[in-house]
Amino acid sequence: MKFRAKIVDTACLNHFTRISNMIAKLAKTCTLRISPEKLNFILLDKVANGGVSMWCELEQENFFSEFQMEGISAENNEIYVELVSENLSRALKTTQNARALKIKLTNKHFPCLTVSVELFSVSSSSRIVTHDIPIKVIPRKLWKDLQEPTVPDSDVSIYLPVLKTMKSVVEKMKNISNHLVIEANLNGELNLKIETELVCVTTHFKDLGSPQLVSDSASQGRNVEQMAEVCIDIKKLLQFLAGQQVNPTKALCNIVNNRIVHFDLLLEDVSLQYFIPALS
Amino acid sequence: MKCLVTGGNVKVLGKAVHSLSRIGDELYLEPLEDGLSLRTVNSSRSAYACFLFAPLFFQQYQVATSNQDPVRCKILMKSFLSVFRSLVMLEKTVEKCCITLHGRSSRLVVQLHCKYGVRKIHNLSFQDCESLQAVFDPASCHHVLRAPAKVLGEAVQPFPLALAEVTLGITRGRRVILRSYQEDEAADSTIRAMVTEMSIGEEDFQQLQAQEGVAITFCLKELRGLLSFAESANLSLSIHFDEPGRPAIFTVEDSLLDGHFVLATLLEPDPQSQGLGSPQPHMPGPPLQASSTPPLDDFANDDMDSYMIAMETTVGIEGSRTLPSLSPGLRAPCSPGSNSEDDDNKDDPSTVPGTPPPKKFRSLFFGSILAPDHSPQGPSPVLAEDSEGEG
C-alpha cells in the first residue's frame, strides 16, 4: 500500500485547501478513498448520528502534478483511510505561502497521512512544515459499506437558489424551530417552512428551473404544481449550507417525498453530494 | 518610586505586561538602581519571566525618595493587566504613563495621561513581598540559538494554540526543528493528535551554536508571550539551553530593556527506565525527508520528570545566599545527587510550589520521597523546615 502525491500549482493548492475546509465543516471524521484516478471524501453516517451522508469526488489529475499509488492488491487497487477532517484542513492552512505540497502515506510511529509543505521564506533557505495526521487504515472487508450511495428516484429535482441567501434564511429559522420542511415542485418553486405553536414561517423561492423536462412529467401524468416535501433536521441543513464558501457552478436539490433530500453540487471540478434523511 | 513613561514606550510596557500575564498570576514590581524590574513566576514554578527597563527607558526615573527603604511590591497580574488591557488604546490615546509607589500609602498608582486632558488613575492595592529572583545564568548554557523574533514567530504559527509543549532541536544538516510534543504515545491512533514539525534552515538564524542531535521540550504558551513582545519591538530572540531537564533561557535585549524568560524543560527518561516503561514497539518508518529525524522521535516513555527552576526569595540583600542548583555540574534538585548534597538548610521552603503541581511535576516529588536510598535520614528535602534562621 503506497501513496504519494504532489501539488505545485498555487491555484490547485488553494482549491484543494478550500475543499478540505469544506469537508471539515461537513464531517468531523471522514474516510479518504484513494484510487488511481480519483480521490473521495466519504461520510456514510450511521442512523444514530442522524443518517447524514456525504460523497465528495475529485479527479486527481486536476490537482496533482505527481500522483503515485499502489492499492491493497492489483485487483483492489484502492486505499481507504479514516481521518479527522479538521486535521487535514489545519495542515493545509499552512499552505498559504507554499511553494509545494506533498501528501504521503507513512508509518512513522503510527500510520499517518503526512502532509509536508515547503514554504517560501525571506532568505534563500527553505522551510518545511510536516504534519503527521493519524489515520486508521480501513480493512478490505469493510469497503463494501463505503460505496457511493445510490441516488433514489426523486419526485422533484430543482436548482437551488444562491446558497448564501438560503443560509441566512435558514440561520434565522433555526432560532425558532428545530426542524424544517423543504418542499419544491417542477414549476421551479421551492419553499422553506418552519412551524411552531406560535408561528409559521415560509420563505418562497421562484423560477428556479428544473433539469427535469416539464413535458416529460406532464406526459407521465404528473402535476407540475404538485409539491414534494421532506421534513429534516434544521441543523443538518445549516451545516451543509455553512460549509459552502464558494458559490458552486451547479447546485441541484432532489427531493424524495418524505424520505430524503439529496443535494448535488459541482464546485468547479469537484462534485459533492450530501444526503439528509427525513425525520421520522 | 516614581517613573514616567511617554510615547511609544507606553505600548512597549503594555506589551511586556501582556507577555508576563501569560505566565503568572502575580506581578512583582521592583525599582532597582539599574531600572524597573517586572517579574513573575507561574504557580508550579516551572516558568519565570522578568523584564528590566533601564532608567533611560523612562522620561523620569526615581528609585526612592530619601530615608525610605527601597520599596518593592507584589500585585495581582489581573489588576495590573487591566490598566494596559487595550494596546490600541495605549497607542492611540495615551500620551504618558506615570507609575508611583510609596511606602506610606499602600497603593501603587498608575496614571494614564490621555488625549484631550483625560487622565485615568488606577489605584492598585499591593502586598509587600520579598524579592523574586530565579537563579540562572545564560552564559553557563552550552547551546545558543538566536534569530529575529519574526522567524521564530512564523515557526510557531503552524502549531495549534491548544498545544502544550514543543520540542526544539537541531537535526541533520544543521536544520532547526520545532515539533509538537505528545505526551501519550500509546493512545489509540484515531484519537491521537496530529504531529506537526517545522524545519528551518541554518541561514535564518543569526547564531546557531549547538551540535546536531540536541533537543529540549518546553511549554509553548510562555514562549508565544515573549515572541509577541519581541515581534512588536522587532527584536532578536536568543535561546540558551543545555541538556534536557535543565532550564532553557529565552532572552531579548536592546539598549533600553531586556527580558528573560526561564522555562523548565522536560527531562528525558534514561534508557533504563524506558525499558521498564510501556514496551511500546518502536517502529521507525521510512524517513519522509532528510529533515525528519529519528533521534528526536524518541519520546515513547510517559513517565517523564521535569526540571524545576530553583527559586529563591530573599528577605535581606539579594544574592546573599547562593543557590547550588544551576551550576553546570549539578543535576536537577530532584535527582539523588543534589538531594544528598543539599542539606536541609539549603532547601528553602519557597522552592515548594504553592499549588499542587501538574502531573509531570508530581512524579518528581514522589520519586524523591519514595526512593529509599536517596531519602535523607531527617525530614524529606521537600518537607524541609523553615531555614530562614540558619541561612
The pLDDT value recorded for residue A108 is 80
The pLDDT value recorded for residue A148 is 87
* Pair type for strands B107-114 and B119-125: antiparallel
B11, B90 contact by CB (below 8 A):
yes
pLDDT per position as a tens digit, A24-56: 999 888 999 999 999 999 998 766 666 889 999
Predicted confidence band at A215 (pLDDT cuts at 50, 70, 90)? low
Distance CA B312, CA A21 (A): 50
Residue of A nearest to B284 (CA): A108
Sign of the torsion angle spanned by Cα atoms B78, B43, B239, B158:
negative
Please name which of B218, B86, B223, B254 lies closest in space to residue B156, comparing C-alpha atoms: B223
Give the H or E element holding residue B160.
Answer: none
Q: Quick one: average pLDDT of B222-249?
A: 92
Q: Quick one: average pLDDT of B172-179?
A: 91
- The ipTM, to two decimals, is 0.82
The pLDDT value recorded for residue B355 is 43
Q: Which long-range contacts (CB under 8 A, 24 or more apart) does B320-325 make?
A: B321/B391, B322/B135, B323/B135, B325/B135
pLDDT per position as a tens digit, A70-88: 988 888 899 999 999 999 9
Q: Quick one: average pLDDT of A13-34?
A: 92
- Mutation site for B-interface testing, chosen from A29, A92, A105, A109 by largest number of B Cβ within 10 Å: A109
Contact B297 A106 (CB under 8 A): no
C-alpha cell read off for A265: 453540487
Provide the b/e sequence for A122-161 (b: ≥16 CB within 10 Å). Answer: eeeebbbbbbbbbbbebeeeeeeebeeeeeeebbbbbbbb
What 3-state DSSP class applies to B374? Answer: helix
Predicted confidence band at B320 (pLDDT cuts at 50, 70, 90)? very low
What 3-state DSSP class applies to A221? Answer: coil
Residue of B nearest to A123 (CA): B204
Q: What does the H/E/C string look like for B71-138?
A: CCEEEEHHHHHHHCCCHHHHHHCEEEEEEEECCCCCEEEEEEEEHHHCEEEEEEECEECCEEEECCCH
Q: Sort out which chain A residues have CB atoms less than 8 A from B289's CB and list them.
A: 116, 128, 130
Query: With 50 as the cut, is the pLDDT of residue B307 above it?
Result: no
Q: Quick one: average pLDDT of B7-18?
A: 93
The pLDDT value recorded for residue A71 is 87
Q: What is the mean pLDDT of chain B?
A: 72
A158, A209 contact by CB (below 8 A):
yes
The pLDDT value recorded for residue A222 is 67
Q: What is the mean pLDDT of chain A?
A: 88
A212, A254 contact by CB (below 8 A):
no
Q: Sort out which chain A residues have CB atoms less than 8 A from B286's CB and list them.
A: 106-107
- How many CA atoms, within 13 angstroms, populate the side-chain half-sphere of residue B312? 23
Q: pTM to 2 decimals?
A: 0.75
Residue of A nearest to B178 (CA): A129
- Which of B283, B285, B289 lies nearest to residue A116, judging by beta carbons? B289
Q: Quick one: average pLDDT of B196-201?
A: 92
B291, A128 contact by CB (below 8 A):
yes
